[in-house]
Structures are given as C-alpha cells and as structure tokens.
Structure 1
C-alpha cells in the first residue's frame, strides 16, 4: 500500500485506541498536522479536498473540481460548504455552494467562485487556483434544498454568483428525469457574465419541460429580458409561478425585490431562499457607550450598539463581508483593544489583538479595530 492510500482507509474500532494515544502524544497539533507533512491529503480527522480541474469560463469567475478525502458525506443540491485556503500564512474560510448535481458519480464536486472586488479568497482562487491545490473543507450544510417529494412546478431564480446552488438544483432535477415544469431565470450584467451559458442553452433545447430565461441588466440586446427585476419578468418567464415552488439565490437587491413581490401577492410560503441576515441586535440597557476606532482608516465613530459591520458601513467604510450571519468568516478583522460581545452567543471578549467577525460582534465600550 502506498503512502497516499491511507487517506482512504476506514479505521476499525480496534485501531481507535492506538490512534487516540498517538493523538494525545501529538498534542497540541494533532495527528493530521504531522500527516500533512507527508502529503496534505493524508488525514485522520480533518476533511480536505484537492483541486483536480480548473476552468475559467468567464473573465471574473473560476470553476473548480474538487476531490474530497474519505470523510466527505456528500451534499444536497442547494447546500453550501466552508472552504479554507492559506493565503500569506493565514488560513481563510469562505462559504461556497456546489454547482454540480448531488448525484455526481465520481464522488467529486464543483464550485464556481466569482471574483469580488473586495474578496480576498475569491480573488486568490481566481488568480492562483490550479490542479493540485489542497484546501480545507467542512461538511455540507444549509436548509436551502429541494423538497421531497418534488413539487409539480419549480421556478429557479438567481443573480450573479447566486447561480451555483440553483444550477445544482437544475442539474439534480435533470439527472432525476424530473417530469414537472422548470423555469430557470438568471440575472447577469451581460451575456459574457453568465457561467454555464452553453450548458443552460443545451438543457433548454434538449428538455421540453425546462425553460431557461436570461435577463441582462446592462445589455439591451440578446437575452430574453432586460433591466432589473420587475413583476412582469415573472409573468413572462413563468406565468404559473403562483402555483409553483420558487427557489431564490442572488445579490441583496434582487432578493429583496423578489421577496417583496411574493409577500405582496400572498406567496411568501412558496418562496425559498437562504436568510443571510442575523437577528437584530438588542443591546442590554445602559451598555451602549464609548466609541469605535478604525486605525488604518483613521476614523472614529460613537458606538451605536449595532454590529461592528453595520457601524463600519455607517461610518463610510467598506470592509469585506459575505453572509452577514457568522458563517463565511469574510468579515474577520483584528480587534486591537476593547471589549466585544457576540450577538449570537452572548460571549464577551476583552482580549487584545484577536480576530473577530464584524457581522456578529458589537462593541461594549471603546473598541479599536485594525481596519
């Protein structure tokens, strides 16, 4: 057996006792820290994946095919994974949704990552991802999934990088030979910004029950619809949408417009999307004091009691962020001094020079951020 095959071995209970002893001896690093010195895909506990294929189908996105280690449990169409890459010696974690069918036969999965202007990880992957890159991985999570049994009619709506989870849903339905009606409505700046364009056209032409509708917001020719979302778009794309289940993923403006439309027409129960917004912050009486200082930006603002991400944006700053609910870690920054409270757990942290997530922490008194 070669050095690479242990990554796929399954450990029997008989092996667990020696393994636990070895892990205790390996403390504080753990056995996987030593195994990765032999090969980064050799793991006992940790889930990792190797990039096996890289495609750049649009100017601002990269599509990666990944081969996970044996710990991978698969995913359901619509879910997301946390992917970790090391950039300049620092491990960075972000959330991405697999775009392939959940039934992919080779055990691999596909991610399409759009390069955002302020996106550290997305920019890195678009510029540097190559076959052989090994990344950290977490098991798939999320409740944005197709129901079982499948509804008779389905509308899939996406915008920008939100295409990936609904593309997975479409591919999964096609592999199931789903017989109901499906409309795939995607919003993009122009035709050249549409990932999977050729495949979408092929599915539209090959399947009588699948209709692909492309809406371009900055291109007045080509496509099927033009401009930002309007209720007439839904009427044109899926006139029966009131009798269907709709699955939505896209930028905040699109999500808000469509959510408002469905609510106004009594259809909120038929709309399914990821809710990337934390619960409103309700500070305890009397503890909203002090100021928040942003060192690198040379800005100081009175503490308003909101999350540090909201306060930074209110102060005119644009820190990198993603999910806004503590999942993707995009907004992680160094707190140099002061006390913060996690709005999800209530945990208070007064240690200096620690990383915190701006979207789920608020200031308790004076706080200084390296931002």
Structure 2
C-alpha cells in the first residue's frame, strides 16, 4: 500500500478531520455532549448527539463511551435511559460516579456541553421482544435504573396499554435518579405503577428494606403472568434470580448486569502465565487474565471489563482457562478468549 493510500484510508482521514472538527468523521462514530444535568450527589445525566453513523438502539441495550484522560483513551459501557423512539435522535446516559470508576468519575466531574466522546453502535441482548408482553414488571436498583427506564419510556411512547410496574430500589429518596420523570410518567398513565423501595430510609417511599416475596406481592401481585426485566447491583440481582428460580418463574426473568465477575483467590491459583508476544511471564495469582496482564506491566485493549464488549479478546495459545461468568473450562489451543472474564487454571500462554 502506498503512503497516499495509507493516508487516504477512512480511519486515517478521521485522524486529520478531528483536528479541524471532532464531529467530522468518515467512519468513526462519535457524539457531542449537548446537555449536562446533575440531579443527585453522585450521578450525571448527559445528552449526546451522535454523528451520522449512529444506527439507533433498542431499549435495554448498551453503548461504549470513550474519553481521553491524561492522554489515554478509556472506554466503558453505559445503557441509554431515553426512549428508543426519541424524536431528535439523541441519546441520554445517566452515569453514576463509582469510587473506582475512572471514566464515571471523570464524566461526573468534568463533562461539559461541547465535549466530544467516542461512541460504539448499540449492542446487547437485554431487550424486550418485538411483540410487547401484556404485563411487564421492571425491577432496578441504583444505576441499574437506566436500561429499564429506557424500556418504560419506550413502552409509553408506543402507547402500550398493558400493566406495567416499575419497582426501583435506592438507599434513600435523594438517591433516586430520574425520580421526577418517573412520578410524572406514573401520574400521567393509568396502566403504569411506580413503586419506590428504600433500603436506608425508614419513612417515605412505598416499601422499605430489601427484595423479598412480600415486596413482589405488594408491587405486582400478577408477577406470575408477567415478563420481568431486572438490572441492578449484585445483591439485588442475586436475590431476585434465586427467588424466581424457587417459585418456578426463572424463564420469565430477563436480566442485565454491569458487575465484573469474581476470580478465584490466591490460594486456589497455580501455574505460570506466559504473554507470548511481549515475552513476559508471571506467576498465576488467580485474578482475571486482564488484571494479571496489567499487573505485569502490559496494556491490553479493554472496554467494559465485564465480558460484554469483547474489546479485550486475545488468543490463548495453550493451557486451560476458566470462564468466570459460567464456570466452563477450555483446554483447546489457539482459541480466542476474553481476558476480563477468563482465569488461568495452571500454566497458560496468551498471545499479547
């Protein structure tokens, strides 16, 4: 390929165009922040205007957002909170600043109108069927509110007439993102019921404490006939799943989680890791291969760190790995694996 051809390649052109106008791209998908709202102490809601490459999304899906922090681009996954039918084509993200979240903390503190971020096309299987269920129970907790709020807003825009209950868990009333919008939707639609459960506040709200059968009966006594969509912190996710399995409704529960899987402890780990392309070796600590590669001084590409975006896929050339989400092991050589959700079982070689 000639130098001219290399410079004319779409991504190379985009590198030049961004010097003039960051939103002028041939292939790269980006978005400009057009609105910033901080409605709770630790969340920020951003409105984004994507470039022309944007193909839209379905309620419940996620996108990858990339920002440059101290000269390094970092990417994380967030779910749009707006309706998939939003008429202006923009998307709304509500982002909670987690103590260890570099991107979330940066956006919470620094996001301003005019900021341009990188954006991926929407992805993910957490979404409603094309034929909407007659009865729908939406359960969320904390920042898990965003994908199910998108579902609620989408159903309202579609004029859905079936029963909908939105059950949301928060520590206190002050921690409920989009509370005013939720109240407005419930007040304006007879088929929508809003149930707020506070785990750290004894007064106010509709329910108190953590999820259980009594909460389910109070919020949606018809839950056995409904399709339930769930997103929230690990404790809520685990509690709802275990309860639905016990009462035989596991097939009616659909969930999405944005929490990294837990790797084995040091006492369970044996073997030696070899990162073949880098010529680096390290003792297996039991952590994910992504974490161990970073601990060894390597900088493999990654996105969500939760096994969703596939950005950290690399080839395992030999050895046995365990999928941290499913527990399945893989002993075949020359297999692509996701570093963030794979742990070594004994000696493993990876091509990074």
Q: Which residue of 1 aligns with 2:161?
A: 179
Aligned to 1:266: 248
2:137 paired with 1:166:
no
Q: In 2, are the aligned partners of 1:101 and 1:171 still within 8 Å (CA)?
A: yes
CA distance in structure 2 between the partners assigned to 1:192 and 1:281 by the alignment: 34
Within-5 A mapping of 1:210-225: 210-225=192-207
Q: Root-mean-square deviation (CA), in Å?
A: 3.5
* 8 Å Cα contact 1:342-1:348 kept in structure 2: no
TM-superposed CA distance for 1:208, in Å, is 0.8
| Alignment CA distance shift 1:343-1:42 (3 Å) | farther
Distance 1:196 1:278 in 2: 25
CA contact (8 A) 2:320 2:348 kept: no
Matches within 5 A, 1:243-282: 243-274=225-256
Residue 288 of structure 2 aligns with which residue? 307
- The aligned counterpart of 1:193 is 175
Unaligned runs of 5+ in 1: 1-19, 293-300, 313-320, 333-338, 350-355
Equivalences for residues 103-114 of structure 1 within 5 A: 103-114=85-96
1:240 matches 2:231? no
Q: Given that residues 341 and 347 in structure 1 are in contact (C-alpha distance below 8 angstroms), is that contact kept between their aligned partners in structure 2?
A: no
Q: 1:197 to 1:48 in 2, by over 3 A?
A: same
Q: Secondary structure at the match of 1:30?
A: helix
Q: Deviations over 1:232-273 (max 9, x none)?
A: 100000000010000000011100000001111110110001
**In structure 1, what is the Cα distance between the partners aligned to 2:99 and 2:260?**
24
Counterpart in the other structure of 1:37: 19
Q: Using the alignment, how far apart are the partners of 2:134 and 2:11 within structure 1? A: 52
SS of residue matched to 2:49? strand
Query: Where in structure 2 are there 5+ consecutive unaligned residues?
Result: 275-281, 294-302, 313-317, 324-329
Which residue of structure 2 lines up, in the alignment, with residue 336 of structure 1?
Answer: none
Separation of aligned partners in 1, 2:254 and 2:73: 32
For 1:51, the equivalent position in structure 2 comes to 33
Distance change in 2, residues 1:225/1:120 (3 Å): same
Aligned-pair CA distance for 1:141: 0.4
Q: Which residue in 1 is equivalent to 2:134?
A: 152
Task: Determine the C-alpha separation between the residues in 2 that align with 1:28 and 1:276.
Answer: 33
Partner of 1:315: none
Does the Cα contact within 8 Å between 1:244 and 1:270 map onto a contact in 2?
Answer: yes
Of the structure 1 ranges 224-233 and 45-54, higher mean CA displacement relative to structure 2 is found in 224-233
The match for 2:120 among 110, 130, 138 is: 138
Provide, for residues 123-182 of structure 1, a one-character-per-residue CA deviation record: whole Å limited to 9, x for no partner.
Answer: 000000000000001000011111121111000000000000000000000111100000
Alignment TM-score, normalising by the size of structure 1: 0.76
Deviation (angstroms), 1:206:
1.4
**1:324 paired to 2:306:** yes
**Residues 28 and 65 (structure 1 numbering): CA distance in 2 closer, same or farther, change over 3 Å?**
closer
Q: Aligned-pair distance for 1:289?
A: 1.2
C-alpha change, 1:47 and 1:92, in structure 2 (3 Å) is: same
1:197 and 1:203 map into 2 onto residues whose CA distance is: 10
Question: Does residue 62 of the first structure (1) align with residue 49 of the second (2)?
Answer: no
Distance 1:71 1:258 in 2: 38
- Report how far residue 362 of structure 1 moved: 3.7
CA distance change for structure 1 residues 348 and 341 in 2, over 3 Å: closer, same or farther?
farther
Name which of 65, 71, 82 aligns with 1:89. Answer: 71
Give TM-score scaled by structure 2 length. Answer: 0.80
Residue of structure 2 in register with 1:6 after alignment: none
Structure 1's 326 and 204: CA in aligned 2 closer, same or farther, altered over 3 A? closer
